[in-house]
Structures are given as C-alpha cells and as structure tokens.
Amino acid sequence: MKNIFITGVDTDIGKTFVSIGICLLKENENKKVGYFKPFQSGAYEKEGKLIAPDPYELKKYSSIPSKYSYLFKGEVSPHLASILDNVEVDMNKVKYDLENFSKDKDFVVVEGAGGLYCPAIKGKLFSDIIKELNLETIIVTTPHLGRLNHTLMTLECAKINNIKIKGIIINKIPENMTLSEKNFIKELKLFSDVEILGAIPEIKVLNKENILKAFKTLNI
C-alpha cells in the first residue's frame, strides 16, 4: 500500500481533478483505491444534507470510497473555516482516520488545500501536515504565465521543509498554446531536476473515459 499527497502551486490549480484522475487510473489497474481529504472547506447543503464538494465530485465518475476528517462551510483556508465553524481540529484524529481508511487499500490519494503554505490548522501550514503524515508528495501546476515562478517557489519550499517530492503534474494544457506555455516544460526542466510525471490536456467533455484517456500516460 502506498499513499500520496497532492498539493498545488496555487488555489484552483486542479488538485481535485488530478486526484480524481489518479484514483480512476489506479482503479483501472485493479488497485483498491481510496480518496482522503483531511480538511474539506466549502461544504454546502443539498436536499437537507451537508455536501463535501471534492468527494462529491469523485462520485460523479466512480464509487471509489472517500473520507474526510473535518468538514467546514467556509470557502476559505481550513484554518479560517474551522474558526468560523467554531471547531477545534485534532491532528490525532486525522492520523487515525487515514491509518484506518488505508488498511484495506493498495493506494490512497490524500488531497490538501491551496499550496504548501496554506494555513491548515492552528499553528500549522500544509507543509507541516505533510510532514506529520509522512507522505511523498505530487505538485500540481499549469503552464500558464507566472506559474513557473509559483512552481519553482513551491519546490524550494518543499526542499526547505524536507518534503519528499515524487514529481510534478502539469495540468490544463491548452489545445492552442501561447509561446510562454510552449516553453514552460523546457524552462521547468532547465531550473529543476524534479521528474515531470505527466502533462494533462484540458478536457472539453468531462467523463470517466476522457479522464482516463488523459491520464493514461501518467508515470505514477
């Protein structure tokens, strides 16, 4: 069994989409897969029930089991969301939940929020959470203008914090790329020796078949 942590160089970078893609890929390889979200912000009500957005998104494509430790309503960092909901977070619960959730699975995708320096709980950033969970990490980025800077800064942050990076996934590759976007991978390889695990194109029609097709060459 091997668990992996998914972080991003920014918010709205596609961490959940990449997490779903990896889950579907491993399920397609006949692995027992799970999706774990330690802290889920942005919960909303639907038919009288409080919905966790990211696990709900996964359920559109598969019955892969999912779990979260804490669910918050605010569409803000988990730390601020916990304050708004007046909830005291216990990391021991997160560790216990992940350990038990992982027992009968070959592979669990653990998704963070924001980036490595996004506030997770009181006094801790997501970089601290990754270290406490002792997980190898994948960084999600995009080739868009300014993201090379964000990506290299995230790699430096991981290095400073002794976080083991498995590699980088470049998400949202547009069909018609600008010169800057075309040059992104070349420059990333020039300034970093971290493995690029895959480049995921933008998908016009989201369904299981198209997601699997986009992730089929992913090296993970």
Place of tokens 């080739």: 143
Give the relative orientation of helices 147-160 and 179-191 as an angle to the nearest 10 degrees.
20
Query: Any idea of the CA torsion for 89, 90, 96, 102, to the nearest 10 degrees?
Result: 30
Q: Which amino acid is at 216?
A: K
| Known catalytic residue at 37 | yes
Identify the active-site residue in 15, 26, 37, 105: 37
* Catalytically active residues, by annotation: 37
